[in-house]
Structure 1
Amino acid sequence: MNALNKLLEGRISLAHGGGGKAMHDLIDQIFAARFKPDSREDQARLSHPALAEPGAQLAFTTDSFVVSPLEFPGGDIGRIAVCGTVNDLAVGGARPLWLSVGFILEEGFEVATLVRIVDSMVGTAEEAGVRIVTGDTKVVDKGKGDGVFINTAGVGVIPPGRTLLASSVRAGDVAIVNHRLGDHGAAILAARGDLALSASIESDCQPLNGLMEAVLAAAPGVRAARDATRGGLASCLNEIAQEAGVGIEIEEQLLPIHPEVRGVSEILGLDPLYLANEGTLVLFVPEEEADAALAAMKATPAGQGAAIIGCAVSEHPKRVVMQTLFGGGRIVDMLVGEQLPRIC
């Protein structure tokens, strides 16, 4: 058995984080072989023509991922790590370019599983058109890491004249989502198997930078966008209402929710508005550009389920209100506590 096959069939040991040959073999044969960095220096050295454009701004974000289970229908922790970071840049109007990745590995973790996660990251980065350019690996004692945790950071460029801010939303602006709500949270819940749920729900995990570029080209007046991850759509809308000082009204009958997600939520007493998403955003656009934004979304793979769900209003500032199927209004508050931990 050659050294690579021996590594692939083994498990992570403390030696893989110790700075010696075992660690260098892991980096060379698993990470560098797939991420293909330009050099082995301790930092990535980056250049891009967009950085030289007068008025361009750098955008920088970081995130950590602790999802359980690590692999689930529609994705895995590696795909989430790339999509989550790319999407945090994209909804601010940035064009994502580069990512870093840090792995916290638990002693005893299967190398074969790690390879699947790394391969998933590589494929997702190619899908999003970004490069993973630098990283780090640490190993912790068995029982102290739950397999693998991932930290990512992302850098992108915001083109001149592009300003997307929640505080820019005005009464009359239209709210649009690109995808069904709650698929990721429901998929994770079903994948855990604790409740013996039989459901065919897949996570919506997907990069959204291509969709955002298409929408901004068709509707350059887009005010703001947020990806509806932890806390779901409800928390996003509350954040925007608070920052803009406007009220937001949504229509229950307009919300795109998969019947299985609705069913799982009803059985467990959950609200799909608070379930996490990993490839769903909400954006606000002036009313006169709403049709163009919606059409641009629907023309992309990530936006074929797009729908107008409501608008910003001058009434009840800083409050989100849903017009229910029964004709009444219901206040939609910010999520209190945690409906479902370890989702991303």
Structure 2
Amino acid sequence: MSLSDSHISLAHGNGGRFMRELIDEVFARHLANDVLDTTVDAARLALPGDRILFTTDGFTVQPLEFPGGSIGSLAVHGTTNDLAVSGGDPLFLSLNAFIEEGYEAALLERIVVDLARSAAELGVRVAAGDTKVLPRGQGGGLYLATTGIGVMRHPGALGLNEIREGDALLVSGPVGDHAVAVLLAREQFGLRGEIRSDAGSVLPLTRALRGVPGLRFMRDPTRGGLVSVAHEIARATGLEVILDEPAVPVRPAVRAVCDILGYDPYYLACEGRVVAVMAPEAADHALAAWKAAPGGADAAVIGRLQAPQNGGAVALRTELGGLRLLEELEDDPLPRIC
């Protein structure tokens, strides 16, 4: 790293030489591409077609590096995943970095390198950005905010309004990995393990379903996890979501941590999973497509949508055959996961 100071100071955000060096020697050097020009106020982009997707997101996580990723890769994947589950291919990102005074410059560069690598793997270019330095004590080390632009590729309609009674609910892999990996990385409870975050791109998974007739809706279950997506579906459609407990994939290590600490894996954040709603006759086709795609080996059909009859919008059919109502999330199960 060529940045002369070992830690970030307020001078790195004052608009002068130190700020220019920070932008040029850390951000622009690692994120260089044919549309990023740090000398202009607005990037000029060529966008194909007329079905443009646009999203924005913010990222805070502690620790900033965790098994399976960092806040840098999380920012890329979190934003591009929102475009992917909307049926699109991501093209461009903007990046805003809020850096706390005293932050270690070498750690900042590692995170930017991780961010640049993740973007390059997806063929996504960072086209614009900004940096702000916050006084010591007014930030969590580093916050990132991103905006994503993509183009719609799914040929049909996608949305909550497309969901019908009898549709099947699928998930692309085990739930709760990200939240538990971050929890263990904090070392707050004296627990250790080899659990890695599922943080990653879901683009191969969403592309695998584009040619499957009967795809109604996709969502990535980030904050609030699987249950929050299920409540979103139930609230929008007026239908009940019935999840099948034996079918929902949860890693034994994740379930063990949840049992010890009193968490419910169905409410925990994922950062590399997709929940999809399919027409019932298309569920097996979609499941096979996911299992053949990167990241989809453990995909499963986990539930159905039905007319209200159990007095609850979302319920879990247990291994013993009973129903457990899953209330909508109110309190944060874990702070600052994503």
Normalised to the residue count of structure 2, the TM-score between the two structures is 0.95
What's the counterpart of residue 26 of structure 1? 22
Amino acid at match of 1:256: P
The equivalent of 1:232 in structure 2 is 225
Q: Deviation per CA, 1:48-85, whole angstroms, max 9, x where unpaired?
A: 3x32xxxx421111111110000011111011111110
C-alpha distance in 1, partners of 2:253/2:155? 42
In structure 2, what is the Cα distance between the partners aligned to 1:128 and 1:232? Answer: 24
Whether 1:250 aligns to 2:243 is yes
Task: Report deviation, 1:233.
Answer: 0.2
User: Which one-letter code corresponds to 2:237 in the other structure?
Assistant: A
**One-letter amino acid of the counterpart of residue 304, structure 1:** A
| Aligned partners of 1:235 and 1:333 also within 8 Å | no
Alignment of 1:5 with 2:27, yes or no, is: no
| 2:76 alignment partner, SS class | helix
Distance 2:71 2:206 in 1: 23
Contact 1:90 1:96 in 2 (8 A): yes
Contact 1:246 1:318 in 2 (8 A): no
Answering whether residue 265 of structure 2 is matched by residue 272 of structure 1, we say: yes
Deviations 1:264-294 (A, max 9, x none): 0000111000011101111001112111211
Say if 2:168 and 2:301, in contact at 8 Å, map to a contact too: yes
Equivalent residue for 1:87? Answer: 81
CA distance in 2, matches of 1:308, 1:299: 15
Task: Tell me by how many angstroms 1:14 deviates.
Answer: 0.8
Instruction: Please tell me the root mean square deviation across aligned C-alpha atoms, in Å.
Output: 1.4
> Counterpart in 1 of 2:68?
74
The residue type paired with residue 97 of structure 1 is: L
Ranges of 4+ aligned residues in structure 1 off by more than 6 Å = none
Question: Deviation of residue 6 (structure 1)?
Answer: 4.9
Partners of 1:197 and 1:67 lie apart in 2 by 19
- Write the mapping of 1:280-299 to structure 2, written as runs, cut at 5 A: 280-299=273-292
Deviations 1:83-111 (A, max 9, x none): 11011111111221111110000111111
Distance in 1 between residues matched to 2:225 and 2:327, nearest whole Å: 12
Equivalent runs, 1:34-183 vs 2, <5 Å: 34-37=30-33, 38=35, 39-40=37-38, 41-48=40-47, 50-51=48-49, 56-159=50-153, 161-183=155-177
Distance 2:154 2:273 in 1: 26
- TM, length-normalised to structure 1: 0.94
Does the aligned pair in 1 maintain the 2:238–2:308 contact within 8 Å?
no
- Give the unaligned 5+ runs of structure 2: none
Displacement of 1:318 after TM fit? 7.1
Q: Which residue identity is paired with 2:167?
A: D
Query: Letter of the aligned partner of 1:43 in structure 2?
Result: A
The answer to whether the Cα contact below 8 Å between 1:167 and 1:240 also exists between their aligned partners in 2 is no
2:141 maps to a residue whose letter is G
Q: Which deviations, in whole Å up to 9, do the C-alpha atoms of 1:219-266 show, x marking residues without a partner?
A: 132100111001010011110111122111111000100001000000
**Partner SS, residue 79 of structure 2:** helix
C-alpha distance in structure 2 between counterparts of 1:177 and 1:306, whole Å: 6
1:200, CA displacement in angstroms?
Answer: 1.0
Contact 1:238 1:318 in 2 (8 A): no
2:252 alignment partner in structure 1: 259
> 1:281-324, CA deviations, whole angstroms, 9 ceiling, x for partnerless residues?
11001112111211111112121111110111123487111100
Shift of 1:210: 2.1
1:184 and 2:193 aligned: no
Local SS of the residue matching 1:96: strand
The 3 A distance-change label for structure 1 pair 6 and 76 is: closer
| Conserved? CA contact 1:244–1:318, under 8 Å | no
CA contact (8 A) 2:97 2:132 kept: yes
AA aligned opposite 2:314: V
The runs of 5 or more residues in structure 1 that have no matched partner are none
Q: 214, 219, 234: which is aligned to 1:221?
A: 214
Q: Which residue of 2 aligns with 1:202?
A: 196
The CA deviation at 1:339 is 0.5
Cα distance between partner residues in 2 of 1:131 and 1:162: 27
Cα distance in 2, alignment partners of residues 105 and 279 from structure 1: 26
Specify the code of the residue in structure 2 equivalent to 1:313: Q
Whole-angstrom CA distance in 1 between matches of 2:193 and 2:154? 46
> C-alpha distance in 1, partners of 2:210/2:95?
28
Shift of 1:163: 2.0
CA contact (8 A) 1:167 1:244 kept: yes
Q: Which amino acid aligns with 1:45?
A: R
Q: Give the letter aligned to residue 157 of structure 1.
A: V
Alignment of 1:301-320 (within 5 A): 301-316=294-309, 319-320=313-314
Deviation of 1:160 (Å): 7.1
